[in-house]
Amino acid sequence: MFDNQKFQQLVEKDNLTGEVVATNSFIVEVKGLEGVRLGSQVLFEDGQHGMVREAYGDRVILFNIDTERIQPGTLAVVEDDMLSVPVGKGLIGRVVSPLGVPLDGKGAIRATEKSGVFNPAPGIMARNVLNEQLESGVTAVDMFFPVVLGQRIAILGDSKAGKSTYLSQLSASQQGKDRIVVYVLIGKRKVDVERLLAGLRSSGAMEHTIVVQADIFDSLTQSYLAPYAACAMAENLWYKGQDVIIIYDDLSSHAEAYRQLSLLQEVDPGRDSYPGDMFYAHSSLLERAGKLKSNNKTLTSLPVVLTPNDDITAFLPTTIMSITDGQIIFDLGLFRSGIRPAVNAGLSVSRVGGQAQTRRQKQLTSGLFQRLAKFHQAEEFSHFGSSLSKDATIDLKLGKQIYSILEQAPEQLLSLSQQQLLVEVVMMGKGEAEIDIPGLKEAVKKEAKVIKDEKEYDRVETALFRKFCKMPPTGEKLGDKPAGTEPPKEDKPTDQKPEDQKPENQQDGKAPKNAEAKPEDKSADPTDEKPAEKKEETTPESKKDKAEQKPTDKPIEVKVKHKKPDEKPAEVKKEKAHASS
């Protein structure tokens, strides 16, 4: 007789039994389970559970799911041909372990069904085209990188960069939309788990959320099994006609747990000491998402990957990006500079997001990318401290206005119509208008409720623009200098001549004649006319004299000779020559 009644019942059913012969932390070697299937669930005599990992005849390698302490000589019996977990709507609103054990103190789980953990993904013929956008309530994501229901999109970023905040906003925005969120916590600290659960409860998102928890104090095997068990719970609701969103937070901890188990199992390590099937472990998990053709319901996967020091070129981020249909990257540098949510618009991408957008939304997204690119270019030039051109000033101002409307507090959620109104009104200003951003955000929440078609969009946008946007005065555009700040222009002389060409009477010290003398003044002497107005005769001798008198630009070399005692100075000679002439 055994103390464990369930173990006694399984033995009486003639299930395969064996005995523990060796242990190495979570790796257990059992002898006597000949013919057991890989992935089968095993129950030990002391009540712990295990999963068959490898089988070599009568020697079987298991993963201990509960703890790393099991004594050699402990008996084991096969409980099920595959590892299974409880599924169904009874799990909604509960916090459970990867095996379905309740952790929230609300009593037993009311689940009458069980499902395998490692289920195959639907085939290509069973899938349908993705065409409906998933509203996250965050403008920086919905306007730039729209997520489609049924999509697999990775969430990458360094620790404390805003990933969990965005996922909490996404979960809260699904309230009242008949969608279930399955949140998987892998290798998290107790304080992080409690903070997340408190946020879900305060926002009301816990009413439509299933939390599967495997914290840092649980076994490595539970951290490894948590995403597969949570996906099985989500698939059951999906096949029964429910839209489901599953969040894996995070697959970096899952990969580390699997790496440690593989090293304990003495599996040959690969790149970064990860096992060789690390890519398959994640691809087989993420490819289970999609849209079914039978009921047009979707399963959306959002795997979270940690990128230390914002390095997205490491082994794990690159493998996840190659599996998914896009990635949203949260930049720690942007987060520290005050831009929140800190979404990196240059590296993020949604490969199927355009299928769920209208033509108007696509044009708006394209215009946003162009304006932000010009803003960053103008911002780089502004660091040099030099004056910017008019266009650069406009780009700089419009970029700051765009970033100001993208900033959202964690408790602020906006619908797609509100986001579109907000962005289009700012884009209408073209960087030349002064916009009351806080007042515009408040007004958009009210005005978006009355919009039903494209004409309503245009009417509401025009009204909001006139109310909250102030254009510069007529004739003065952004970047122009205010009137009166430019220095007065100097009047260019028209008839003024150089000093050496003044009339003879001015050179002799006499006052010059008034150039603006009235025509009726007949007392003016005709001999006082300007020399430039006289026509000189152009004879060959005059041309020769002018050529000799014409100064040259080249400097004249003067050779100084030693003068003789009886020779007079050159200046005296020049004066005599001038007098004789």
In the chain, where are the structural domains located? 5-82, 83-355, 358-474
Which residue type is seen at 470? K
Question: Does residue 84 sit in helix, strand or coil?
Answer: strand
User: Residue 452: which pLDDT band, with cuts at 50, 70 and 90?
Assistant: confident
Asked if 276 contacts 263 with a C-beta cutoff of 8 angstroms, the reply is no
Tokens for 140, please give them: 């920086």
Asked if 405 contacts 422 with a C-beta cutoff of 8 angstroms, the reply is yes
Measure the CA–CA gap between 128 and 126, rounded to whole angstroms.
7
Is it the case that residue 78 has pLDDT exceeding 50? yes
Tokens for 432, please give them: 């030349």
| Percent helix, strand and coil across the chain, each to the nearest 5 | 40, 20, 40
Query: What digits encode the pLDDT tens for the residues 403-418?
Result: 999 998 888 899 998 9
Where is average pLDDT lowest: 77-81, 266-270, 387-391? 387-391
Backbone angles phi, psi at 478, to 5 degrees: -65, 130
Measure the CA–CA gap between 396 and 382, rounded to whole angstroms.
9
Question: Does residue 481 sit in helix, strand or coil?
Answer: coil
Listed residue (267, 226, 262) closest to 246, CA to CA: 226
* 150 alpha carbon, distance to own chain's centre: 21
Encode 316-341 in three state secondary structure.
Answer: HHHHHHHHCCEEEEECHHHHHCCCCC
Is it the case that residue 140 has pLDDT exceeding 80? yes
Measure the CA–CA gap between 182 and 168, rounded to whole angstroms.
12
The CATH class of the 5-82 domain is mainly beta
User: Residue 110: which pLDDT band, with cuts at 50, 70 and 90?
Assistant: confident
Asked if 15 contacts 81 with a C-beta cutoff of 8 angstroms, the reply is no
Is it the case that residue 530 has pLDDT exceeding 80? no
Q: What pLDDT shows up at residue 560?
A: 44
Hey, what CATH topology would domain 83-355 get? Rossmann fold (3.40.50)
**Percentage of the chain surpassing pLDDT 90?**
52
Where is average pLDDT lowest: 71-75, 428-432, 505-509? 505-509
Q: What pLDDT shows up at residue 338?
A: 85
Is it the case that residue 119 has pLDDT exceeding 50? yes
Is it the case that residue 538 has pLDDT exceeding 70? no
CA end-to-end span of the chain: 150
Measure the CA–CA gap between 89 and 106, rounded to whole angstroms.
15
Q: What pLDDT shows up at residue 223?
A: 95
Listed residue (114, 58, 113) closest to 82, CA to CA: 114
Average pLDDT, the chain: 82
Torsion-angle region of 431 (φ positive above 0: left; ψ -120 to 50: alpha; else: beta): left
Listed residue (413, 411, 412) closest to 199, CA to CA: 411
Catalytic residue among 195, 351, 371, 459: 351
Q: What pLDDT shows up at residue 385?
A: 64
Tokens for 557, please give them: 């070399």
Entry field: residues in the chain: 581
Q: pLDDT higher for 495 or 268?
A: 268
- Taking the CA atoms of 331, 337, 339 and 345 in sequence, report the sign of the dihedral they define: negative
Measure the CA–CA gap between 359 and 337, rounded to whole angstroms.
34
Where is average pLDDT lowest: 5-19, 154-168, 456-470, 537-551? 537-551
User: Residue 453: which pLDDT band, with cuts at 50, 70 and 90?
Assistant: confident
Is it the case that residue 561 has pLDDT exceeding 70? no
Mean of the pLDDT values across residues 428-446? 89
pTM: 0.78
Which residue matches tokens 């970029």?
399
Mean of the pLDDT values across residues 46-60? 90
Hey, what CATH topology would domain 358-474 get? Lysin (1.20.150)
Question: Does residue 183 sit in helix, strand or coil?
Answer: strand
Asked if 297 contacts 179 with a C-beta cutoff of 8 angstroms, the reply is no
Backbone angles phi, psi at 519, to 5 degrees: -65, -30
Measure the CA–CA gap between 542 and 553, rounded to whole angstroms.
22
Q: What pLDDT shows up at residue 239?
A: 95
Annotation marks residue 351 as catalytic: yes
Mean of the pLDDT values across residues 126-147? 93
**Percentage of the chain surpassing pLDDT 70?**
81
Q: Which residues of 467-491 are buried (b: 16+ CB within 10 A; e: fewer)?
A: ebbeeeeeeeebbeeeeeeeeeeee
What is the 8-class DSSP label of residue 527?
G
Q: What pLDDT shows up at residue 212?
A: 96
Which residue matches tokens 């208008």?
433
Where is average pLDDT lowest: 57-66, 370-379, 509-518? 509-518
User: Residue 224: which pLDDT band, with cuts at 50, 70 and 90?
Assistant: very high
Mean of the pLDDT values across residues 40-65? 91
User: Residue 577: which pLDDT band, with cuts at 50, 70 and 90?
Assistant: very low
Listed residue (313, 309, 353, 345) closest to 329, CA to CA: 345
Tokens for 175, please give them: 């309230």
Q: Do domains 5-82 and 83-355 have the same CATH topology?
A: no
HSE-CB for 163 with a 13 A CA cutoff: 26
Q: What pLDDT shows up at residue 470?
A: 86
Q: pLDDT higher for 581 or 30?
A: 30
Q: pLDDT higher for 48 or 385?
A: 48
User: Residue 426: which pLDDT band, with cuts at 50, 70 and 90?
Assistant: very high
Question: Does residue 273 sit in helix, strand or coil?
Answer: helix
Neighbouring-strand partners of residue 44: 76
Asked if 94 contacts 106 with a C-beta cutoff of 8 angstroms, the reply is yes
Mean of the pLDDT values across residues 450-463? 84
Tokens for 346, please give them: 């240059």
Query: Could you give the angle at which helices 416-428 and 454-468 cross, rounded to 10 degrees?
Result: 50
Mean of the pLDDT values across residues 476-498? 43
The alpha carbons of the chain give a radius of gyration, in whole angstroms, of 42
Which residue type is seen at 325? D
Q: What pLDDT shows up at residue 207?
A: 93
Measure the CA–CA gap between 347 and 324, rounded to whole angstroms.
15
